[in-house]
Structure 1
Amino acid sequence: MSQPSIPKGTRDFSPEEMAKRNYIFDTIREVYKLYGFRQIETPAMENLSTLMGKYGEEGDKLLFKILNSGDYLKGISDEEILERNTNRLATKISEKGLRYDLTVPFARYVVMHRNEITFPFRRYQIQPVWRADRPQKGRYREFFQCDADIVGSDSLLNEVELLQIIDEVFGRFGIRVCIKLNNRKILSGIAEIIGEAEKIVDITVAIDKLDKIGLEKVNEELASKGISKQAIDLLQPIILLQGSNEEKIETLKTVLKASEKGLEGVTELEFILNKLKVVDIKSELELDLTLARGLNYYTGAIIEVKALDVQIGSITGGGRYDNLTGIFGMPGVSGVGISFGADRIFDVLNQLDLYPKDSIQNTKVLFVNFGEKEEEYILPLIAKMRRENISAEIYPEAAKMKKQMSYANSNNIPFVAIVGENEMAEQKLTLKNMVSGEQKLLTINECIAEL
């Protein structure tokens, strides 16, 4: 009989790993709540009509589609099957798909619940998403996103607050990061001044890959999309712009002086950077003109976060998407959001060994079980400990002492409580520190104070 397996790009998580993941989720959740965000959840699957066309052509290919229930080939002719037009077939045999991210379902939620929502609406959402991507290091087909979005407000203070959240979260994790910033309007302005305004999507998709494939390959991709050599030449000094954020801003004001939209993007970025100086962001901030994030719905600020001490892709991203709810028949609602990639953060924290010891500890004390009489003495003690928020358990059977101590070691339980006839006679217990080996004879109240 063959061994069971799981799909590529997915993972099982052990109790120890789940303790680490919950530390990540709880930290992010605490910071979101600190900034006044409220939690919602949406279904794992959405109608394909909700998802298709929202992520660009490349994104559409990565949607996991769900076959219709029952005879999904009913109404499909043999000719259509033999034709092997997978896109056309998919629309007939799949009406639903697994969500690709949390932002588009959130936009759908806002439109459906518009009469119950008070704007501006600040929501956070921590749920898994699925992408039919090629699995590789740091890239999974099933992974969690931890999103925060503000809709119904044009204010750039929202961007400032989201960047403060990023700084706060990674400060709590102890991860050194670089927060990269750009603005879609600047990218549109660049496309305009090089004479390729209609090719804005092709340009942004290509230059977004600069870190991964290098300048030469980016230029090849731009040429393959029909962008002229003259335009590509004009693009070079812009995407390779060096200097401080202030110097880049001043250069852009000159370079984009003929583009009203481009200058608007520069003004927005300057506002955000100036406000962040007031709140003293600890993380490194970098204006990066190659940052495009391939998703079609960003219209203003674009945000991406890279870990400085680990080689891994983006661990947080986001931006402003002024027209997203318009796709669902509700125009004029501006939104801005960020998404923490919990799975990549998990990998970074593992590599840097940054988990606090108490975040991955479950049971704090194990009571050794010598038999029925001892069990009856121990059970009220455990109940009292749990009322004091101390995690405790009793070994479920009177096994050999060596086996019970081995269980404590295997599960990283730091203390063992031993209760025999002498302890019961004195109404006490012996508490053993499993790290130092030290033993103390204590009353239950003294033991609680000790722990």
Structure 2
Amino acid sequence: MKPSIPKGTRDFSPTEVAQRTYIFNIIKTTFEAFGFQPIETPSFEKSETLMGKYGEEGDRLIFKILNSGDYLNKVDERLLEEKNSQKITPQISEKALRYDLTVPFARYVVQHQNEITFPFKRYQIQPVWRADRPQKGRFREFYQCDADVVGSKSLWQEVEFVQLYDTVFTKLGLKEVTIKINNRKILSGIAEVIGAKDKLIDFTVALDKLDKIGKDGVVAEMVSKGISEEAINKVAPLFNFSGTNRDKIDSLQAMLQGSAEGLQGVDELKMIVDSIENIGLDSAILELDVTLARGLNYYTGAIYEVAPPKPVTMGSIGGGGRYDDLTGIFGLKDVSGVGISFGLDRIYLVMLELNLFKTVELPVPKVVFLNFDETQNLPKVKAITTLRKLGVKSELYPDVALSNNQQKKQWKYVMGRKIEYVVSDFLEEKFTLKNMYTGEQNNYSLEELVNHIKN
């Protein structure tokens, strides 16, 4: 059988790993420059930790892990006869792969609350899994790079996250990304003033799909969820909201006069938008998008989504928001949090498309010791050991050359990997060193060799 990998997963070549590491490093150093600390959590959690936290659509995308052993033996035979997977699953699966990093983080905060100094600023860079339909920019296994603050309700955290996005994308060369921002309180207020507050989740999930399925698709989904035609007509102006951020804020204030919660959301957005206008951004564009809903149920305040620079056609490359009660589901009340995520895999694809990896080089040895005579290898390996201890990347070609063709193969290896220095022979206590860039060749003692390569 021909070997293959599951749909929605990928292998990465050395070049791709180097390029992705370049992105990781920029995100990581920026996180730390903004005062965030790293944590890690397990790749799988108890099912009860994850289920019910992402809404109905999210729960369907969680990868369940079968219990070990004869997992069907304990299942009631009547359930097996019914063939109802939703009833059987809890009995045969008690663990699941994490869907994102935010819910495991909330669990971490509650579990380790006595060890944490609040406000707690954490970052986390790890893979997550979703049983989604694979397509361009959407995978079943992918990395998230998250930064969150818990224990502070200050809106300056929201301002800082806009700056964080701007800083990372500017360093990556992704200029003019659009940081879309909205507030769940505004969406709740809109649902309230149009008389659809009991349908808030259905309303926001449908509205969030506007850029994917268009106005007609959103209206059709709202109707299918039982939202009245009258309510949909009232919300119609949102589909064509235009003007500057301040224009949109003024329009929202007028629209939401009947909702105290909605007006609070407008005030919060105004503070963030005004602050960013005063501080300024290096290259990103901040845009108030009243149709932005983000389908996750745990957001309660500001919500973000980052669109790639034009003309790239790709889904969001970042997102997040404030969640005032997420830790409450694990028993820790009144701990507000806010966080954002970078979608590494989509960022990588966007940077490939825009040819932004010109400066990323593969990690290669600075010097390669060729293997033309087995009797010379011990002093060569000793020299390599010395160089490595001094931080010089070095390696010995592993297979001895027994013919001219095999020697040519070793030189081809050197050329193919663009090695700077090559040691070909060790004779009379001297190493023959060649600079492959200049063609210069000399014989050196070990001390001379080390000094020359280091300097």
3-state SS in 1 of match to 2:234: helix
For 1:263, the aligned partner's letter is L
The aligned counterpart of 1:159 is 158
Select 1:413's aligned residue among 411, 418, 421: 418
The aligned counterpart of 2:364 is 362
The aligned counterpart of 2:295 is 294
In 2, distance between residues paired with 1:161 and 1:430?
51
The aligned counterpart of 1:303 is 304
Larger displacement relative to structure 2 (393-402 or 170-179): 393-402
In 2, distance between residues paired with 1:106 and 1:80?
35
The aligned counterpart of 2:170 is 171
For 1:304, the aligned partner's letter is E
3-state SS in 1 of match to 2:436: strand
Select 1:401's aligned residue among 394, 407, 410: 407
For 2:277, the aligned partner's letter is K
Per-residue CA deviations over 1:183-219 (Å, capped at 9, x if unaligned) read 1011111111111111111111011111111111111
Select 1:315's aligned residue among 314, 317, 337: 317
For 2:97, the aligned partner's letter is L
Q: Is the 8 A contact 2:351 2:357 kept in 1?
A: yes
Q: CA deviation at 1:297?
A: 0.4
In 1, distance between residues paired with 2:220 and 2:431?
80
Q: CA deviation at 1:269?
A: 0.9
Q: Is the 8 A contact 1:189 1:259 kept in 2?
A: yes
The aligned counterpart of 1:432 is 436
The aligned counterpart of 2:354 is 352
Change (3 A) 1:382 1:75: closer
Per-residue CA deviations over 1:155-207 (Å, capped at 9, x if unaligned) read 01111112211111111111121111111011111111111111111111011
The aligned counterpart of 1:77 is 76
Per-residue CA deviations over 1:409-447 (Å, capped at 9, x if unaligned) read 44x33424143468x7776621112xxxx3123653233
In 1, distance between residues paired with 2:361 and 2:274?
36
Q: Is the 8 A contact 2:370 2:425 kept in 1?
A: no
The aligned counterpart of 2:345 is 343
For 1:417, the aligned partner's letter is V
Change (3 A) 1:90 1:427: closer
3-state SS in 1 of match to 2:148: strand
In 2, distance between residues paired with 1:328 and 1:207?
29
Number of positions where the alignment pairs a residue of Structure 1 with one of Structure 2: 442
Q: Is the 8 A contact 2:43 2:128 kept in 1?
A: yes
Q: Is the 8 A contact 2:421 2:433 kept in 1?
A: no
Identity between Structure 1 and Structure 2 (%): 53
Q: Is the 8 A contact 2:372 2:425 kept in 1?
A: yes
Per-residue CA deviations over 1:351-393 (Å, capped at 9, x if unaligned) read 2221253543333332333324543454454344434433222
Residues 242-261 of structure 1: matches in 2 within 5 Å?
Answer: 242-261=242-261
In 2, distance between residues paired with 1:252 and 1:53?
31
**Where in structure 1 are there 5+ consecutive unaligned residues?**
none
The aligned counterpart of 1:53 is 52
The aligned counterpart of 1:12 is 11
Are 2:326 and 1:324 aligned?
Answer: yes
For 1:340, the aligned partner's letter is F
The aligned counterpart of 2:445 is none
Change (3 A) 1:81 1:425: closer
The aligned counterpart of 2:377 is 375
Change (3 A) 1:427 1:133: closer
Larger displacement relative to structure 2 (19-28 or 177-186): 19-28
Change (3 A) 1:292 1:260: same
Residues 124-143 of structure 1: matches in 2 within 5 Å?
Answer: 124-143=123-142
3-state SS in 2 of match to 1:145: strand
For 1:291, the aligned partner's letter is L
Q: TM-score, normalised by structure 1?
A: 0.93
Q: Is the 8 A contact 2:18 2:360 kept in 1?
A: no
Q: TM-score, normalised by structure 2?
A: 0.92
RMSD: 1.9
For 2:107, the aligned partner's letter is R
